Every structure is written in C-alpha cells, then in structure tokens.
C-alpha cells in the first residue's frame, strides 16, 4: 500500500489523499476537496489531477464540507465511475452543497455531474461505528464518528501485508482524522453533537489535521455557560435596551443549526436551571434567511436523532435534552419544520424561514429582532445585503460566529469597528467565533493522537503524518507531538515518527518514501505533454 498527499499540504483546503493497494490493483482517494481562498489557491481547482479519474475505484469521504468533497463532480466529469463511501448525512448534505456550488457557475462541473455521483451510505442497514466494510480482498475500511459537523467521520483503512519470513499475514492500518471536532467525552460544550472517537490503538499510521495546531483556546471558549451568557447579554442589550437588531452571519452548514439550538436553549421554559436564561419582555422574533441553510435544516431533521443498531444516538448530544427540556426527536422535528419553510413558535421564541433574495427589505425582516443569514463572511447573499442595510445603525449588533478571511466584507467591517480613526456610525461588533469553532485546538489534537482510552491490546508504534494546516499550525503541532512522545506518559500511544505530509509517494508497507514518478504518473505526464485524453490513450492501445 502506498499513499501520496495531493491536497491540503500547503494550507487548510483541497483535502485529498491518493492510495494504491498494489496487491489488488485498487486505487482510492480519501476526500477530493476544492481549494478555497485567494485566487492563486482557487486556480488549483482547474489544474489536471495527478491521477487518471477513471482508474479510481473509491472515494472515501470524511464529511461534506466543500474543501473535502468539492471536486468529486469534476472527478465524475473526467471519467470516475466508482463509489463515494460516506455516512447518509454526509451524502445528503454534500448533494446540497455540490448543487449550490454548481449553480454558482464558478466550477468546471454542472448539476448533471453532481447527479451522476454514485453514493454508498456506509450506515444504511445494520450499522455500528467501527463496522468493517470490505472494499476488496485484503482491503477494508471502517468509519468512526467525529464531532466536527453532522455526518463527519474519521476512517481507518486496513490491508493485508504478506511477510517474506513465512510468518502469518499481518494487517496494517492508516487512520485519517478528517477534520477533528471540539467535543470531549467529559465536555460536549457545543450544543448538537456527541464526542468523537479516538483512533485504534494498533494504528500503524495516523493522518492528522492541524488547522489550529499552534493554538490553545482559553477555557472560557470551551464552556457552554459562557457562550450562552455572551449571546444572551448581547441580545438583551441590543434588542430591548437599544431597540436594535442582532445580525448573525453564519455558515449554512452546521453553524446555523448550532445557533438555532442555542436560541432554543436560551428561551425554552423547561431548560436546565443552571444555564443562563433569556428574560426579554416579549417573544424573540428570529428570521432565518438562507435558502441553503433551510434545506440543510431538513437533513438535520432526518439524521440528527438517528440511532445505530445498539439503540444509541449516532450523533446527537445526549446531554442536550436535559439542558433544553426537549428530546432529540422533538428537536429534529423543529429542524424538519424549518426545512419545509414552516415557522416555529417555542415559548418565547419565534423562528421564521425567509424565502427569496435580499434585494429589498421584507416585512418579516423589518419585524425581526435577530437575523441569521448567509454567507458567513458577509461577502454575498442575504448577509451582505443586511450588513449594508443595518451595519450603519449603532443600535444594531453584528455577532461573528465563524472564521472571516482577509479581504472579506465581514473582516473589513471588523477592522473598521476596531479602528478609532473611522468615525462613521456603525453597528457594534461582538466576536463569538471562538465559542463556535468546529476545529479542535492544539490540546484536542494532542489528545486525539495520544489518547488510548484505556485500550492497550496490540499497541503498536505509530507514524504520524501532519497535514491540513498552515505552516505555523503544522510546525507548532509537530513540536508538541515530539515533546509529548519523548515524555512517554503511561497510557499514551507510542509515536515513533512525525512527518509533515508532502506530495511524494510513501510506501506504507516498508515505511519509506519512494523516489520518482509512479508508472501512472509518468503516463499522466506524457498525456499532458501531448494533449491526450484517457479516451485517446485507450483508442491508441486498441
């Protein structure tokens, strides 16, 4: 078995790893994501793949974010006819996100290519996490829950290795983290999801993301009570003291659904007594203006409270019912109703989905106290309109709930708000992004790598690949992994080497890098130089 990292080796987008199981001639990808960010990064979405898409049999997808699945339709367009393995929730959300991407017209694929994707939901039927799924003889994969977003999973690929000394055939494995969420078994502080799993103790290789590999978040950002307190104070001060509106730009996938859950948490009469409660003098009117987020709410209604075959929730945070006085099925119905475009009234909370564009004020918006809108960076969509429309009124408040990239409208608004030389009246800014981050910080990443959860059977020395991070994040994580591995704490995984993922082939059987191009890559190079397509090559070979 060999692996070559194709994407997310020089940043946090474009995740893609190419694996070749030579014993069966199987080629597969783990994720096939779109590059996002500045124009130089996005240009990579139009570069030729280093592999021949028709030769790929499987795409093993960790989750539905576009930087992990966004180039699968292009893969189909260029000849891929294999299967995309993922959870049912990831499948349903990825379809919506890919359709939205195709409709924007900035990609090399169309709706037709999205429709041609062949999906295989790994959790259809009799499913438990860690279930072994056969791909080929001597090659299998298992999926394990991540707390990053609904449907997210890490995956472990196992293969047989024949020995030269007559010993029995050995199994080896490589575990891909995907994006690692923040939830811990002892502290599921974000509202919706359970904690994620740890990799197997006998993993020979771990591939670990490093988005926040150089960051340790202050403890207050990992406390549900602090998050709700900040949100409640902001709403009460803005809406009832100043008579203004709260604008919540939010990502359509997962962030919007978390904010809705938090608003229910704050306003539900039966919520836990030890949480901060919203105490406004009248019902709180909330408008949800994002067509994509509304559609995704319907998927949450379908999958959030699904159960595995042992009867336990597959994803749903079991602590939430006691906090909000509502079962998983009841919360799922709220999401389902919102997804169908229905307004929902819960105690002192009114939630209303808004249809259509944001080219002019709508009565529901003018009457709303809170507006949840896409896009999360305020660059386009309803959020851009509302930032322009309401951002100049000092009675209003902009609450950031996610990452704002340099050059985005939201980032510029934040910079102006912090600039004392900008004297024009503007809305207040309240920064809540760290409270809602879906990526684990350095401490969480280290625990993910080293924590064995008490299991030590067949414990092996593990080689760790670090990817999906900027240079500082990767180097910071490497340094901390080295320190902890050297400390050799009792109960920790044994890490024998730490490698920063690059674009070279690595032989997972021998544990060594390989020189030069593979035969497939040499063929691909010749095709590129001579302007030949895979169809041309097949025709010539005949």
DSSP-assigned letters across all residues of 19-42: EEETTTTEEEEE--PPP-SSHHHH
What pLDDT score was predicted for residue 283? 85
Contacts of residue 376, defined as CB under 8 A and 6 or more positions apart, other chains included, come to 249, 250, 251, 252, 255, 383, 401, 402, 403, 404, 410
Only one residue has tokens 């906090």, namely 323
The first and second tokens of residue 500, run together, are 């920063």
pLDDT, tens digit, 9 for 90 and up, residues 272-286: 555 556 666 778 999
Nearest one of 517, 536, 519, 518 to 527, comparing CA atoms: 536
Concatenated DSSP letters of 264-330:
HHHH-TTS-TTS-----SSPEEEEEE-HHHHHHHHHHHHHTT-B-TTSSBSSB-TTHHHHHT--HHH
Nearest one of 158, 175, 200 to 460, comparing CA atoms: 200
Are 462 and 203 in contact, with CB atoms under 8 Å apart?
yes
What pLDDT score was predicted for residue 527? 64
What pLDDT score was predicted for residue 515? 79
The first and second tokens of residue 179, run together, are 């994006």
What pLDDT score was predicted for residue 359? 66
What pLDDT score was predicted for residue 377? 81
Distance from C-alpha of 158 to C-alpha of 458, rounded to nearest angstrom: 15
**CATH numbers and ranges of domains, the chain:** 2-216+438-541 (3.60.15.10), 221-435 (3.40.50.10890)
Task: Give strand pairing partners of 120.
Answer: 85
Which segments of the chain have a pLDDT < 70? 165-168, 269-280, 358-361, 419-423, 516-531, 533-535, 537-542
Contacts of residue 356, defined as CB under 8 A and 6 or more positions apart, other chains included, come to 362
Q: What's the pTM? A: 0.92
Distance from C-alpha of 31 to C-alpha of 15, rounded to nearest angstrom: 6
Are 144 and 151 in contact, with CB atoms under 8 Å apart?
no
**Largest interatomic CA distance in the chain:** 79
What pLDDT score was predicted for residue 213? 97
Helix or strand holding residue 373 (H, E):
strand 370-373
Distance from C-alpha of 522 to C-alpha of 386, rounded to nearest angstrom: 52
Concatenated DSSP letters of 145-208:
E-SSSTT-EEEEEEEEE--SSSPPPEEEEEEE--S----BTTB--SSSBPPPPPPPTT-SEEEE
What pLDDT score was predicted for residue 413? 82
DSSP letter (8 states) at residue 105: T
């Amino acid at each position: 078995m060999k692996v070559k990292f194709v994407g997310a080796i020089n940043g946090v987008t474009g995740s893609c790893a190419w694996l070749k199981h030579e014993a069966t001639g199987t080629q597969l990808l783990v994720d096939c994501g779109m590059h996002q960010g500045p124009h130089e990064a996005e240009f990579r979405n139009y570069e030729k793949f280093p592999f021949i898409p028709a030769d790929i049999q499987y795409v093993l997808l960790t989750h539905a974010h576009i930087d992990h699945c966004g180039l699968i339709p292009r893969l189909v367009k260029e000849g891929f006819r294999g299967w995309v393995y993922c959870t049912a929730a990831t499948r349903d959300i990825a379809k919506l996100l890919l359709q939205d991407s195709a409709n924007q017209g900035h990609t090399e694929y169309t709706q037709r290519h999205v429709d041609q994707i062949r999906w295989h939901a790994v959790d259809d039927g009799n499913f438990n996490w860690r279930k072994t799924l056969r791909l080929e003889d001597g090659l299998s994969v298992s999926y394990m829950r991540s707390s990053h977003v609904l449907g997210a999973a890490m995956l472990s690929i196992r293969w047989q290795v024949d020995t030269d000394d007559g010993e029995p055939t050995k199994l080896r494995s490589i575990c891909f983290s995907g994006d690692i969420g923040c939830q811990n078994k002892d502290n599921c502080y974000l509202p919706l999801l359970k904690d994620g799993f740890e990799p197997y103790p006998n993993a020979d290789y771990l591939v670990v993301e490093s988005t926040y590999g150089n960051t340790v978040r202050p403890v207050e950002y990992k406390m549900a009570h602090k998050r709700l307190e900040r949100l409640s104070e902001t709403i009460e001060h803005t809406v009832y003291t100043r008579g203004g509106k709260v604008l919540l730009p939010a990502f359509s996938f997962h962030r919007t659904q978390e904010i809705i859950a938090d608003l229910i948490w704050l306003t539900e009469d039966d919520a836990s007594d030890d949480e901060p409660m919203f105490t406004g003098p009248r019902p709180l009117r909330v408008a949800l203006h994002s067509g994509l987020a509304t559609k995704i709410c319907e998927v949450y209604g379908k999958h959030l409270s699904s159960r595995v075959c042992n009867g336990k929730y597959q994803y749903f945070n079991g602590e939430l019912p006691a906090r909000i006085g509502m079962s998983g099925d009841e919360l799922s119905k709220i999401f389902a109703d919102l997804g169908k475009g229905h307004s929902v009234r819960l105690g002192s909370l009114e939630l209303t989905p808004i249809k259509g564009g944001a080219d002019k004020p709508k009565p529901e918006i003018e009457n709303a106290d809170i507006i949840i809108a896409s896009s999360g960076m305020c660059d386009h969509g309803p959020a851009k309109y509302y930032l322009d429309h309401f951002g100049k009124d000092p009675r209003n408040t902009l609450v950031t709930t996610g990452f704002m990239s340099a050059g985005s409208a939201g980032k510029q608004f934040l910079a102006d708000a912090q600039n004392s030389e900008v004297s024009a009246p503007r809305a207040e800014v309240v920064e809540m992004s760290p409270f809602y981050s879906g990526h684990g910080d350095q401490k969480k990443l280290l625990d993910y790598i080293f924590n064995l959860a008490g299991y030590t059977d067949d414990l092996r020395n593990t080689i760790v690949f670090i990817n999906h991070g900027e240079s500082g994040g990767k180097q910071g994580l490497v340094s901390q992994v080295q320190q902890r591995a050297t400390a050799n704490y009792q109960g920790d995984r044994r890490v024998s080497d730490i490698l920063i993922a690059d674009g070279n082939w690595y032989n997972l059987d021998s544990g060594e890098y390989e020189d030069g191009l593979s035969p497939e890559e040499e063929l691909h190079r010749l095709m590129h130089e001579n302007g030949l397509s895979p169809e041309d090559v097949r025709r010539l070979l005949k």
